[in-house]
Structures are given as C-alpha cells and as structure tokens.
Amino acid sequence: MILAPPKPKRLSADTEVLFRETLRGIGPIEYIRSSRARQLRLTLSGGQPITVTVPRGETISRARKFFRSKKEWVLRHLAVFQRFKPATSPRESGETAEQFCRRVVEKLRELSEAHGLSFSGVTFRHQKTRWGSCNRQNKLSLNLGLALLPPELLDYVLLHELVHTRIKDHSPAFWEELMRIMPDAKRRAVELRKYRPA
C-alpha cells in the first residue's frame, strides 16, 4: 500500500482532495471532502481513480474504514470493467454481460409472475446517473453496472422498477406497494445510496 501525504487540493468551491492512497490490486484512491455530501459515498469509473466522498464532520480514518468495508464490492466492480469489454465476449472466469442480462431477465420474469407486475420489455446499457427506469409503455431500462451490486440491492432495483409498471411516481402509494412486497425496501434504498452508477 502506498500512502500520499494529505496535501489538500481544491477541485471546486465546495470540494477538495484530502488524502490519496494506492492499494495493491485496486489502484489509486482519492478521498474528497465535499460540503454538499450528506454521507460517505464510493464512486468508481473505468480508467479513473476511485473516489470516496467525505462529508464535512467525517474523519479520514472513518472514510478509510468505510472504503475497506466495500473492498470486495470494489474488486468485483473492477473485474466487471474488464469482463464487459466487449460486452458479449466470454472471459476466463465469471459472467459475460450477455449471461448477466439473461439472468436478470429471468429474475424479472419470476418477480413479474409472482407479484402480477407486467413489463413490456427490457434494455441494458451503461448509464452514469441511474440504476434503472421504467417508461409509460412499461419498458424497463437497466444499467449494466447492476452486475456490481450486492444481490439484495440488485433485487431491490429490479422490484423497484417493476412496481413502476403499476405506479409511475414515487408517491406514498408507490412506497406502500413496494414495501408490501419487500418490507425492508427503504433500508435497501438507503444502502443503495452508498453506491453510484459509473
């Protein structure tokens, strides 16, 4: 592990780099203070340093502990960046993008049949801001980055979008329906905020 001295570098009016380190097998990590952040957040993007966003009031020590708690997820994420280029080419180990998509479609069909939530189709793509969406024709669009999430959060996103086939907004009725099917949905939603599409 290589540690860099915490020489703050101003990125914008409300962010600055507090600390850098490089971990073997993972690469460079930047800990960035943000006055707008409300919680610790981890962001990965192919070819870029991993960033940990640190809200004011949080210590570097806690931020580093947070990163280490997500280390296995990070390693899976980095592996997927390699596996999914090109998306349908088999690799030495793990799923290809095509295999992942087939597995998700099968899971969607199971959830759809179990809960009476009908969708008209599904597409997969790399997205930077959303894990998924559902249009007025009940066609789902899902982020390939879902492959990087823990299974319980993948299930949450899939069910979240399926409930949108019935209720298009995030009204109390939507959450009531989602929590009827998945009682801990709000806990999973909070956990999902610790991850960011890349």
Measured at the CA of 156, the angle between CA 138 and CA 186, to 5 degrees, comes to 110
Bridge partners, 54 (sequence order): 33
Q: Looking at the domain covering 97-192, what would its CATH class be?
A: alpha beta
The length of the chain in residues reads 198
SS3 for 102? helix
Owner of token pair 């993008």: 97
Every domain of the chain and the residues it spans: 2-69, 97-192
Is the distance from CB of 132 to CB of 146 less than 8 angstroms? yes
Residue 27 to residues 67, 80, 91, 95, 129: CA-CA distances in angstroms?
Answer: 13, 15, 22, 23, 24
pTM: 0.58
> How far apart, in Å, are the Cα atoms of 125 and each of 68, 75, 120, 128?
29, 21, 17, 10
One digit per residue, the tens of pLDDT, for the chain of length 198 reads 333 333 444 455 578 889 999 888 888 899 999 988 889 988 876 556 788 999 999 999 999 999 999 888 888 777 766 555 433 333 333 667 778 888 999 999 999 999 999 999 999 888 878 999 999 999 999 998 898 888 999 999 999 999 999 999 999 999 999 999 999 999 999 999 888 776
